[in-house]
Every structure is written in C-alpha cells, then in structure tokens.
Structure 1
Amino acid sequence: MPALLITGAETEAFCERAGGQVRTALARPPGVGSRPGAVEARTEPGTRVPALLGPGGRAGRAAPGTPADRKDLWHAAFPSEAPSCLRCGVMKFRAKITGKGRLELFIHVSGTVARLAKVCVLRVRPDSLCFGPAGFRGLREAGLWCEVRRGAFQQFHMEGVSEELDEIHLELTAEHLSRAARSAAGASSLKLQLTHRRRPCLTVAVALASPLGRARSVVHDLPVQVLPRRAWRDCPPPSLRAADASIHLPRWRTLRSIVERMANVGDHVLVEANLRGRMTLSMETEVVSIKSYFKNLGNPPESAGVPPHRDLESMVQVRVDNRKLLQFLEGQQINPTMALCNIWDNSLLQLVLVQEDVSLQCFIPAL
C-alpha cells in the first residue's frame, strides 16, 4: 500500500476521491517520520490514488523513510489490528459511541473540558470516564470534575493495573481531545482506544458517512502520559462534606448575562443562598453597587436533612473571583437537565450540572 503525505486542507477531498482512510498527525509522537500538522493516508488495495497537489501545484510525495508495509503507521480503526495494550503493562481500554445525541454530548463534554483546563487527567474506571485537574491543588484554585458514565457508550471495555486497582490514569492535552471529537460531527460512530505508537496514545477513530456510499474514517493518535500509581493521589475525586446551602440555579442565560455585566464593573461577586429557595448575586465598588435577587428557585431533597436549630431563612455566602465564575458559565457547552449551586460559608462555591449520563462539577474557592 503506497503511503502519501497530505495536508489537513486536502483531507476531505482525498477521502471523497479515493475512498480511503485518513490518520491525522495531531500532536504526533516524535520520530514517526512526517512533518507536524500533516496527515497520513492509505487506501485499500487496488484503489487508484489520485494525484494530490501541494503548495504551488506540486504533487505530494510519500514520506521519506516510510516503508509501505509498516503496520505501526496505519491500522484498522477498531479493534483487532490495533495494539490493544501498552508495552509497559497490560492495561487495556476501548469504547464506542454511536447515535447523534450521544456523539454531540461527547463533543460538548470534551469542548467544555478544553475550555476550562489546558491539561487534564482522564481517569478510566470500569463504570465511567472521569476528567479531573492535573496535579492536586486542593481548594486554592478553581477546578473541575467531569464524569461520563458507562451508559453514554454503546461499547465499553477496560482492564486496569490489577483486579484490586482496576483503573487507568492518563494525562493529556484537553484541546487535542476536543479537536479530535469535533471531527465526529455528523459521523456514524466514534471509537476510543488506548494504543502504543512509539509511545502511549489515546486513539480516536471517527467513522464518517459518505454520499458515495464508501466507508471513510479519520483516526487521531493523541499522545498521553500513563500516570504511575504513586501519582494517583495527586488527582483524587472530589470528597466534601455536606454543603451549608444547596439551591437550584436560575435560567442559565439569565445568570450568565448578570455575571457578565458584573464582570465589566468589578473583579469579585458575592453569592448568597438559603434553604428557602432564595439566591442573590451582588457586587460593590466605590462608584456603584449592584444586586440581583432570585426567589422560589427550590432546594434539592438533600437539603431537607438540616439540623433542627438551623434558620432556613439565614443566607450562606461566599465571595469568588468574577472572571472564574464567568469562565465556567461561558465555557460549559452541555444542556443540563439539573443545575445546582452548593455553598460552603466563606469557603467554597460549587456548581453542579447533570445531563443524562454526564455530570460536571466546577469548584471556585473563596477569596
């Protein structure tokens, strides 16, 4: 099979004309033999490969020093031909997402994580995928925790370090995963697999529909760092005591609009809530004072178990950085069926979004 080197702009035309499969070299592991940002493509045996024109009308050439039969440069999207475990261990992971709704949900989740974190840790567990911050910072900095449960996948299989420690921790660049997931817009399926391409990679294979009836796929190899067990304690799941106040959030657009206007005036916002469904957002400077009131928002059932002496009308408050709150309100892309605000008095603000098999938590420490 001849190997051709084509640029990202030529990928769609090549697929349409040749009916082949394309592997992107996004964040490609070094030493494989192609220039950054290039795409390797192969066609099935017997398929005629059209001439590809590069800058200035020059025809693209095969990558130098790239044997046509080298199996580590091309593999079937899923699952048999690709290495399913790492050379450094027996860890395995593969998953498949089908259906327009589930594909869009995963695209939105990966996009949200990319907007809120540059580098994240993907924690693969038998029942879910979890995105968390890279490195433990406690409550000193804003952070996120996103869980995609097994129900969001049509297929899901993993084997961890051992039966007792049945998990895999991968550190990766969130934007790389988001870009790979965005290529699944309008696709028929998206597959994730832990592979080894000179180094550990998370392979994202996207099966695209073709108007000509030919099967096409785009494969992204995203380099990851497999975290050893001693580093797992640096990315623990959130574990907090019961909040002092928990309340349903108002309409998302309304809340975002108010916080955006406050961010244009000052750097801090005071968030207050009680157990009677009341919530206020306020800020004050030397020139202006702004306060927004919400009532009848409702409290989740968990709030019912409060101590008998607790005054349900008393407001619990936390002052946070306006920019960090606005970053989350603007960055999240999922359409939640439930949105909660949890407050620990003068300590922490937690926003929780839930949609089907996905939950997203944002933690913003008090100033």
Structure 2
Amino acid sequence: MFNSSFQRKIIHIDMDCFYAAVEMREDPSLIGKPVAVGGHSRQRGVLTTCNYEARKFGCRSAMPTAQAIKLCPNLIVLPVRMALYKQVSQQIHQIFHRYTEIIEPLSLDEAYLDVTDCEKCSGSATWIAREIRQAIFDELHLTASAGIAPLKFLAKIASDQNKPNGQFVIKPENVAEFIRTLPLSKIPGVGKVTSELLSEMGLQTCEDVQRAGLPILLNRFGKIGKRIWDFSRGIDDREIQSHRERKSVGVERTLSQNIFTPEQGLAILDSLYPELMRRMLRAKPDIPLSRYRKMGVKLKFDDFQVTTLEKSAVEFRQETFVDLLSRIWLRSQGRSVRLVGLHVTVPEEGKSGQMSLW
C-alpha cells in the first residue's frame, strides 16, 4: 500500500490539443472552428490531433481523415508542420528546466517532472505547476493542463481531471481515498476492452481490486494484471527517467477466453491495429508511419509459452501483420491462444526516411 511518509512531488504536464493549438495561435481566424492536423483524405491520411470543437463531432487522433470529414463536414484539416511543433516543444522544455532537470518527455506535448527538490514557490509542487502553466500561456500563448501527485500514474490521471487549461492535485494524505473510488478505466494502459472484461469480473473500481487476489488478475490479464493490482494499492515505484530512448511501440491483449483458430486471431488483430497506430502517432509524432520497416506479432499459448515472429524491410500496413499472424499461428500445434500482441521497431534517428504518409 502507498506509504504517505514518502512524499515525492511529480507533475505531469499535458498540452491542450497541442498541434491544433499551435496552428490556431499562428492563425487566430481558426479560433472557434473545428480544426485538425493530419494527412489528406485523398492520400488515406489520418489525424494526428484535433481541437475541442472538432472533438464535439466525434473526431479524434489516429482517425482516418476521410472518416473525420464525414463526421464533421466543415472540419479544417491542416498539414503537419513538425519542425514548428518541435521548436515550440523545445521552448516549453526550456520553461520546465527553470524548475528541474529531472524531466521525462513522453511526446512533444507531454512530460513528467520531478520537482521534489525544487525550492522555488516555497517548494510547493502545486504552485510550481501553476507557474509553469502561466509561463507557457504568457510566453507561448498556449494552454497546458497539469496533474500533481506523489505517484507517477496518479499525476497522469490528475492532469486529465480539469482539462483543458486546468490542474488537479492529489496530496499524499488523500492518495488512499482517491484510489479507493478510482474507476479502473482511468488507469493508464487499461483500454476499453480490458475495462469491459474487468467489469464482467465484478471489478469496476480500485477498491474492488483491493479485495481480489493477484492470481486472478495474473491469470486473466498477465503483466497488465499485475500493474492493475499494484496501482489499485497505490504502488508505483517508477522514477522519472530523464534520458529514455524508446526502441519499440506495441499493443497486446490478454483474452478473456482463449481462441483456437487463425480467423479468431484476425478478429483480434482488427481491433489491435488501430490502437497500435494511435500509440505510434502519440509516442513518435515526428516519425511518419511509412518509415517503420520492422514489424512483429506475439502470441502466448495456453501453456504460457510465448513466441514472437518479426519481419524487416516491410511496409507498415495491416496486411503485413495479417501475414505474420498466419505464419506464427503454425507454431500453436493445437494449443489455444490466450494473448495476441503487435509491435513495431522505432527506426533509428538520422536515417533517411521514405515518403511520408502525409
């Protein structure tokens, strides 16, 4: 359980619809209109982000542009200007460095800050977060939301509580009560399908998990089950990693019921593929999808043996994963499958890219 005597101070900063906000700052005539940034519909493009006006129509990141325009015919789709967004992101980080050197960027628009030893603002993480957000607004004319908590995952959850342009603090003495009533769907990494499976098990809040046994979650969900169990008890020992180079992006799903045929595997792949694409765009927004050339599929069988098949020099498209799945399935040898995963290897920086998706 969470130890309230250890009071690490973590801030999670999340810019509000970053790319679209930058574009609206550059062209104020866009304010109040539905705006998205992404690829052209005629080129099978996808959205990287959209503003809150566009989200009211159901538009979201990683959605095909053509689909978004059907939902919102007046949607203004602007091309990606990655050099501009990276420049603004660097300016944001310059503000961060006024308060701490312990910064873990998650993407151009999102980062963790450890301000435990910061003496500014009388050492108050709440005041530091407010000052950072005010500086971003005054100097860059953009808004950011912030979450403040003694645990990493709680800081991320808190930053979403008062979006946009707000902040939320979870004090050490309030952690236990906040976690007790926290819906499991709020835990990072718990998607819609996992949340539904948990609900079917009678587990909807962290308090429900606190009463459940760890083996039940491990058997059903594997590694994510252990994370759910830990987080539900206020256990998160992860430190802010100032220097982290991401090598791969992946998504996997532990199934509520084992599957037996490649056709069933393809149905799982259909839902995993768009989630993988969303994670890729979020984790590495400056790398076009067309630059990813190494893909892999992972299976875990009913005897808990894990196998992975990868292929290099291939195009990032769903058909590549379909081919890999059909081949790796031969290794099942009559065993049922309890987990399916997809992943891509992040291309090395500095290597010449192929034609951009956009």
TM class by shorter chain equals: under 0.3
TM-score of the two chains, using structure 2 as the length reference: 0.22
TM-score of the two chains, using structure 1 as the length reference: 0.22
Question: Which of the two has greater helix per residue?
Answer: 2
Structure with the greater alpha carbon radius of gyration? 1
Question: Which of the two has greater strand per residue?
Answer: 1
